[in-house]
Amino acid sequence: MASRTTTSGGDYNLSDPVNSFVDVVRRMVLQPATFFAGLPRQGSVLGPLVFALICIEISAVLVGLLTFIDVPGGVTWLFGARGNQGFLAFVGGLVLAPIAGTVGVFLTALVTHLLVILVVGSGHSGFGATFRIISYSSVTSLLGWIPFIGWIFSLYRLYLATVGIREMHGTTTGRALLVVLLPAILILVLVLVLVGASAIVYFRAA
């Protein structure tokens, strides 16, 4: 009798999609540091991308279902869609999710990798490593759709990204955390500058 193919370790396995998906989710939840440390740094990113898109599509399906039961978080609650409009919104979400997901993963990985180069320096492991970090961190999409508490899983996603950057790029936790938080810091600084500039203009005009 042929032995069952093992899926433990390494990238998401396209030849054993169901078992590999469950295995990756389990390791991302229970042993994220070990999981990231065991990933290849380069090579095809198709497996990681497909894993991310599966997570995103599952999330889109569940959010779409909220449309029909009219729970906060669904399209019905946000836009007042009913009947055919709700169904079309549901189908449209399913079609657009993988397209938007692909663009989102690549853009996020690109921006994150630029920050890795800036913060980590020349000792980084390459774009392939960063792409894997962003792709596999999408596992939080499986629960991030839940109304009111989805933000908790967004925070966990930041944690996963921090662990991934530390393990795959061989850097410190502090530097990895800086890479993850730097966009938010820059946005906060920009907002403060704009608010300050607006206040100065207002008081000068008063």
The model carries a pTM of 0.81
In this predicted structure, what is the pLDDT of residue 7?
47
pLDDT band at 39 (very low <50, low <70, confident <90, very high): very high
Q: What is the pLDDT of residue 74?
A: 55
Share above pLDDT 70 across residues of the chain, in percent, rounded to a whole number: 84
Least confident of 42-46, 60-64, 78-82, 123-127: 78-82
Q: What is the pLDDT of residue 3?
A: 38
- Give the angle 48-32-130 at the CA atoms, nearest 5°: 45
**8 A C-beta contact, residue 51 and residue 21:** yes
Q: Roughly what angle, to the nearest 10 degrees, separates helices 173-205 and 150-168?
A: 130
Categorize the per-residue pLDDT at 31 as very low, low, confident or very high, splitting at 50, 70 and 90.
very high
Residue 139 pLDDT more than 80?
yes
140-166, pLDDT tens digit by residue? 999 988 888 888 998 999 999 999 999
